Each structure stands twice: as C-alpha cells, then as structure tokens.
Amino acid sequence: MSCTSDAHTTHTSVAVASLLQPLSMSRMLLSRFFCALGLLLLAVLAAVVLAAYVTGAFHFQQHALNYDSLPFYHTADFQPRWDKWSSWQRTAKFDLINQHGEPLSQNVLEKRPSFVGFFYAGCVSLCPVSLEVLRELNRIIVASEAGVKPQFLLLTVNPELDGAGQLADYAKRLQLPANWSLLTGNPKELDHFAHSLKTDIRLRERNGEPLHGGRVFLLDTDRRIRGVYDASSTTELLRMRADLERLNVEKANQQM
C-alpha cells in the first residue's frame, strides 16, 4: 500500500509540475516584457528631458534684459520666452475671406509683419476704441520712412452674422484704411486660428453678445507671436511702434 501510495503521489507531483511549467514560463516572459517596456519608457523620458534642456524649454527664468531680440509668446499666460522651443511655435494655418470676398490664407502672414486683432461688426463699445488706436498707429507708421510697413488683419468673433458684406459696410462706416483686411469665414477655421493666438472667440455675454477684449498681436513673417498688446489703451502705441522697429531690425540682420 505504501509503495502504491508513494508512486501515485510522485505521479501527481510530476503532473502538477508539468502543468505549472508553462505558467511559470509565461510569468517569466511577461516579467521580461514589462521590464523591457519600463526601460523603453525611461529612455523616451530621458530623451524628452534632454531635448527640452538643450532647446531651453525648461529655462523658466528668462529676463528681457538678457536678450536683444523680441521674445516669443506661445503660452496662455503670455509669458515672454526666448528659448529654441518657443521660437519653433507657429500660429495655425487658415483659409478665410476678407471684406471683399477674396480668399486669404496663412500665406498672407509670411509677406510682412502683421498686427492681428479681433472685433465684430455689431460692436459699438470696445471695438471702435481699439480700432482708433490701431488707426493712429497706422498713421504714425505711414508717416515714418524707415522699416517695412506692417499689415493689419482683423478677425471677426461673430462669423455666423459677419459675412463679407457686413465687414465691408463696417469698414466703410468706421473709415478704416483700404489696405486693412477684415476676415471672416468658416467658424471652425476662425476658432482654430484664434486658438493658436490663445484666444477663445466662442465666449458670449449673458445676452448672447460676443465677449472679447482689445488684445492685439504682432506676428513676424514666420507666423510667430512676437508682441501682445492692449489696443484699447493709447499708452500701447509707443510699445507697438518700438516693437515693430525692433522686428524690422532683427529681420534685416538675418538677411545680412
């Protein structure tokens, strides 16, 4: 009886061991897989950190006194940056139409420096004030003989109601310069481009009126944000003009 029992126990142990062996192999392979995956993720993270360090993306303390050129802006808090990563950021592409019904794309931004702002044809408070500041800036620049003249692009925040005809009437009513471009088009296109300017054109007042500020952006010919201003304040005129002159000098030095 004892021999028979021992033989049965041995046979059972061998059977159990044979069943557990594939499970043990699977656990070992799975352990190796997760180990390799962990090492790969660590390598990727190290590469990202190294790239960010080399490009300056982690250099949070950047002071204007340390740089001669205009900064770049690409974050929602509009903190000025001078690192490589910031210099690679571009505003979005777009396909819109102006007040004459003519198509305009992002290529227009690559021709000359641009002052870009937002408005809507039904605005009777902030928009006329901001546009008057920009018009005064335009008069000062036109009277100046030095530097490349900028272009002015104004994007409606109410494209559902502001068609090309409404924008043309608005430009005529406010006697805006003929070479200014008032843009409208597909709401998604406008929203996408506005988002790259850290602006939400979908905000509305309780009465349904568009909610927007008087912020204006200076873009270089690489579609990068180089200046951010409050166009509802006349005190910004000097800064806008000075920044445009600095941008022109920067471009001229790059072409030398």
Scanning the structure block, which residue is given the tokens 């003249």? 149
Scanning the structure block, which residue is given the tokens 């001078």? 82
pLDDT digits (tens, 9 = 90+) for 40-85: 888 888 777 666 655 555 555 566 667 888 999 999 999 999 999 9
Top mean pLDDT of 89-93, 138-142, 251-255 is at 89-93
- Taking the C-alpha atoms of residue 82 and residue 59, their distance in angstroms, rounded to an integer, is 9
Least confident of 18-27, 73-82, 151-160: 18-27
pLDDT digits (tens, 9 = 90+) for 182-197: 999 999 999 999 999 9
Partner residues linked to 184 by β-bridges: 97
128 CB-near residues (< 8 Å, 6+ apart) = 174
CA distances from 253 to 26, 69, 245, 246, 256 (A): 64, 11, 12, 11, 5
Least confident of 3-17, 132-146, 242-256: 3-17
Residue 31's pLDDT is: 75
